[in-house]
Copies of this chain bind each other. A is one copy, B any other.
Amino acid sequence: MSDKKEDHVLTMKTVNPRAVEMEYAVRGPIVTRSVEITKELAAGVQMPFSSVLPANIGDCHATGQTPIAFIRQVVALCTYPQLLQSDQFPADAKQRAERILAGCKGSSVGSYSASSGVDVIREDIAGYIIKRDGHPANMDDIILSCGASDGIKTVLNLMMTGKDGNEAAGIMIPVPQYPLYSATLTEFNAFPIPYYLNEENKWSLEVSELKRALTAAKGKCLPRAICVINPGNPTGQVLSRKNIEDVIKFAHDEKLILLSDEVYQHNVYAEGSEFFSFKKVMTEMGAPYCNMELASFMSASKGYMGECGFRGGYAEVVNFQPDVRAILLKSISAKLCPPILGQVVIDTIVNPPQKGEPSYEQFESEKNVVLDLLKKKAKLITKLFNSIEGIKCNEVMGAMYAFPRLFLPEKAVAAAKAKNQSPDFFYCYQLLEQTGLCVVPGSGFGEKEGTYHFRITILPPLEEMEGVLEKFKEFHLKFLQQYK
């Protein structure tokens, strides 16, 4: 075939229209531009800054966080079991590795596991949930995945109807939301039912709004599930126990499956806030709530470990009908299995060194360093944003992001619209070009009409962040001035 477009089988006319429509802002055009800028800087192009600061994605190690030694020791031992003879590794790391290897076929992390994961690791996950919640958990309900994203897609896929229009599956998602949800619903041709978090009240999740949203979707789809992200991404709120109870009651009354994205369960910073799993709250509410269908999701990529590259994650799927669960398991069989070393990382998180074990103190200390720093940065960033004219930022109660609101001058909004850009995209693009700071426009997460935001991670090192926020302030005030 020649270069002529019409000679290609796949063109913009024939390619999957859902893939064309799908957007994932966390890796959207601004990030693409930041990669180009990095290459231009390396090639000697002069810019007003010397390097790009990636604050677009919750990628802890990319911005300098050190891996937790114990996690990497267990993975290295599983990978190269000759190291079990080395005195360079603590006994508890060796014991974990030996136990996992005994659970792998042929004692090798190079063999496939069951599609739901290695049994001993599923046992350990159930043990972790029991300890966390104070209630039973069953390893048969645990499905490991390639990052939490993969588990979320697997469960969403199960509830698709295979039909279009008002027979498509409707899934309630928060706005703002982590765009994996909108991207997946587009890919699956499902109907998103957006419910708005209340920015005026710390991004709270209000049942009246859930009712409004569901009512508005009636007749447009077959509502199947409600997804809640707690702690919130990109909004950083942490739900109270009472709030979770209200959501559970709503889901029960409306016959919706509960999908709780709890990947930030270790990331709670606000005084008086605490993480409660939906499973725990639902269990303690008793019948009929404790029998509701629930899938909750966890990841190796967040928390204090930040091991994104290992792609470890799991779902706990409770109260599904046995024949439906069999379909769920069948649906993941063709993927063969999640990466074994991602599973191993999950094991170190759910079965960390215990008091009295040789790695305990170092593990706890490394973990607390990370979490304490995140807490400091969460406070710092909120305070700083709120000190700037034209910006208002809710407290970062948990997770890894601030999602400040931008009050943009009308002229800036008009200039953006003239370029067919959302105003916050317009703003973030200039922020990148002028300061090297890479953040994600709020429009990529969804936001209330006429409001503008951006998401910035709290991951860069503290000393770097102070300087960056100073540069940010300078840019922002200049921007306001320019479009006054």
Tally of this chain's copies: 2
Task: Please state if B59 and A112 are interface contacts (CB–CB under 8 Å).
Answer: yes
* Of listed A9, A158, A335, residue having the most chain B CB within 10 A: A9
Chain A 314-335 per-residue mask, 1 if CB under 8 angstroms from chain B, else 0: 0000011101100110110111
Task: Please state if A309 and B9 are interface contacts (CB–CB under 8 Å).
Answer: no
> Is A279 an interface position by the 8 A CB rule?
no
A22 to B329 Cα, complex, angstroms = 11
Measured CB to CB, the nearest residue on chain B to A178 is: B334
Measured CB to CB, the nearest residue on chain B to A105 is: B62
Measured CB to CB, the nearest residue on chain B to A72 is: B80
A284 to B17 Cα, complex, angstroms = 34
Task: Please state if A308 and B110 are interface contacts (CB–CB under 8 Å).
Answer: yes
Task: Please state if B113 and A309 are interface contacts (CB–CB under 8 Å).
Answer: yes
Chain A 112-147 per-residue mask, 1 if CB under 8 angstroms from chain B, else 0: 111100000000000000000000000000000011
Inter-chain pairs besides A10-B321, A18-B160, A60-B110, 19 sampled, C-beta below 8 Å = A1-B319, A9-B257, A12-B321, A12-B324, A12-B327, A14-B224, A16-B158, A17-B161, A24-B330, A57-B112, A62-B108, A76-B76, A76-B83, A86-B86, A110-B307, A146-B146, A147-B335, A157-B187, A311-B336
Known: A22-B330, A106-B61. A324 touches B112 (CB 8 A): no
Task: Please state if A16 and B159 are interface contacts (CB–CB under 8 Å).
Answer: yes
Task: Please state if B293 and A309 are interface contacts (CB–CB under 8 Å).
Answer: no
Q: List 14 A-B contacts (CB under 8 A).
A: A1-B319, A12-B327, A15-B158, A16-B161, A19-B327, A22-B330, A35-B114, A57-B112, A62-B105, A72-B80, A110-B307, A110-B309, A111-B308, A309-B339
Smallest distance from the beta carbon of A339 to chain B beta carbons, Å?
Answer: 4
Known: A79-B72, A115-B27. A336 touches B149 (CB 8 A): yes
Interface size on A, residues (CB 8 A): 108
Measured CB to CB, the nearest residue on chain B to A76 is: B80
Which of B63, B64, B86 is A88 in contact with, Cβ under 8 Å?
A: B86
Task: Please state if A1 and B339 are interface contacts (CB–CB under 8 Å).
Answer: no
A159 to B337 Cα, complex, angstroms = 25
